[in-house]
Homo-oligomer: A and B are copies of this chain.
Amino acid sequence: MVTIADVARHAGVSSSTVSYVLSGKRSISEETRRRVQISVRELGYHPHAGARALAARRSHVVALMVPLRTDVYVPVMMEIAISVTMAARQHGYDVLLITNDEGPAGVKRIAASGLADGVILMDVELDDERIPVLRAQGTQATLIGLAEDGRGLSCVDHDFAAAGAVCADHLADLGHREIAFIGYGSGVYHRHAGYAERTLTGFRDRAEQRGLRFLHRSCEGTYESTAGTLSRVLADRPGTTGFVVQNEGAIGPLLTLLRMSGRTVPEDASVIALCQDQLAEQFAPRLTAVTGSAQTLGRVAVEQVMRRLAAAGGGDRPADERVLLTPALTIRDSTGPAPRQP
């Protein structure tokens, strides 16, 4: 292994000079800097991470704790993980992946061992057990999601309520009066700690403001479940012309079922989905959708931890940020003006 001493010898300077060239923490003559940089490159020197963490009391690692569940929004999770990793690299940080099943003890382990300087928590519950641990350890952290008590933490999430509201607005603008909201299976509403509820609430509130009649129905996302849901909707509210689909598993079935029931999209029924653009593009017709950027979510989370780390490193008290990302409506071919005769 090539050490800082090797570089120093090669460049004809002391190892502290090499260290300072690399960290930029004191001014170095142009000449020396160049010599050192050349030596670094020639020898292929990379500082030993452990030694650095030990001496500087900073690991330059953030931990990302991901949920185990591979049900609802897996592709999004991966996208977040990747954007977190790339954003972290831009700050000179690496990302350690931790799974949720380690629970509070895992957070404690990571923090106490100095493995990571900061933590990003996904799939946060309203009253999350890991949060007190974070506080006790004095570890800088950001939540992706919203917790009840966010003191001492930053957090970022999609503005799901806004997403729901946008759906209501879009359909109302098109003249629809009776809407069905196809949600997740009932279990998800509890588990996801508000993720699903917030969307529904946002939709509901706006729908009421706009004078829409609407129905919310749980749906497991299978074909059978969607078929059952749709037939109940049409039985209860035959005049329904607008569908908001939250459960991405139900999208395909719903489109098929509408077609089979003789309804054309968007002439007879409009469908708006809460899903990623990539998915929305795959259907026929291409779906109007409301989407939040998973990439931005990850990036913002990293920037929040970095700011906290910088503040804490400078002796300041980090600010508790709380960011909600506004989702975007992309109008495609699955929504249109409400039909004259329902």
The answer to whether B112 and A1 have CB atoms under 8 Å apart is yes
A86 within 8 A of B: yes
The answer to whether A70 and B59 have CB atoms under 8 Å apart is no
Of the listed residues A59, A85, A108, A227, the one surrounded by the most CB atoms of chain B closer than 10 A to its CB is: A85
Q: Which of A150-158, A205-213, A276-284 contacts B (4 or more CB under 8 A)?
A: A276-284
A15 within 8 A of B: no
Q: Which residues of B contact A227 (CB under 8 A)?
A: 284
Closest Cβ neighbor of A251 among chain B residues: B252
In the assembled complex, the CB of A39 is this many whole angstroms from the nearest CB of chain B, namely 15
| Alpha-carbon distance A100/B89, docked complex (angstroms) | 12
Q: Which residues of B contact A48 (CB under 8 A)?
A: 53-54, 113-114
The answer to whether A68 and B50 have CB atoms under 8 Å apart is no
| Alpha-carbon distance A284/B257, docked complex (angstroms) | 11
Contact with B along A1-25 (1 / 0, CB 8 A): 1100000000000000000000000
Q: Which residues of B contact A66 (CB under 8 A)?
A: 78, 81-82
Which residue of B50, B52, B85, B260 contacts A52 across the interface (Cβ within 8 Å)? B50
| Alpha-carbon distance A283/B48, docked complex (angstroms) | 51
Q: Which residues of B contact A75 (CB under 8 A)?
A: 70, 74-75, 78
| Alpha-carbon distance A99/B51, docked complex (angstroms) | 24
A303 within 8 A of B: no
The answer to whether B78 and A70 have CB atoms under 8 Å apart is yes
Q: Which residues of B contact A74 (CB under 8 A)?
A: 74-75, 78-79
Closest Cβ neighbor of A220 among chain B residues: B282
Q: Which of A90-98, A184-192, A261-269, A318-326 contacts B (4 or more CB under 8 A)?
A: A90-98
A127 within 8 A of B: no
Q: Which residues of B contact A284 (CB under 8 A)?
A: 222-224, 227, 253, 256
| Alpha-carbon distance A2/B112, docked complex (angstroms) | 8
A339 within 8 A of B: no
In the assembled complex, the CB of A294 is this many whole angstroms from the nearest CB of chain B, namely 9
The verdict on A50 contacting B97 (CB below 8 Å), with A77-B78, A224-B284, A284-B224 known, is no
| Alpha-carbon distance A50/B116, docked complex (angstroms) | 10
A47 within 8 A of B: yes
Closest Cβ neighbor of A70 among chain B residues: B79
A46 within 8 A of B: yes
The answer to whether A89 and B102 have CB atoms under 8 Å apart is yes
| Alpha-carbon distance A42/B204, docked complex (angstroms) | 50
| Alpha-carbon distance A95/B66, docked complex (angstroms) | 12
Which residue of B46, B221, B224 contacts A113 across the interface (Cβ within 8 Å)? B46
The answer to whether A249 and B52 have CB atoms under 8 Å apart is no
Which residue of B86, B89, B98 contacts A85 across the interface (Cβ within 8 Å)? B98
| Alpha-carbon distance A223/B221, docked complex (angstroms) | 20
The answer to whether B99 and A96 have CB atoms under 8 Å apart is no
Closest Cβ neighbor of A278 among chain B residues: B70
Of the listed residues A53, A82, A253, A255, the one surrounded by the most CB atoms of chain B closer than 10 A to its CB is: A82
Contact with B along A51-67 (1 / 0, CB 8 A): 11110000101001010
Q: Which residues of B contact A61 (CB under 8 A)?
A: 96
What are 11 A-B residue pairs whose CB atoms fall within 8 Å in the complex? A1-B112, A1-B114, A49-B50, A49-B53, A50-B50, A70-B79, A85-B97, A85-B98, A94-B98, A95-B96, A222-B281
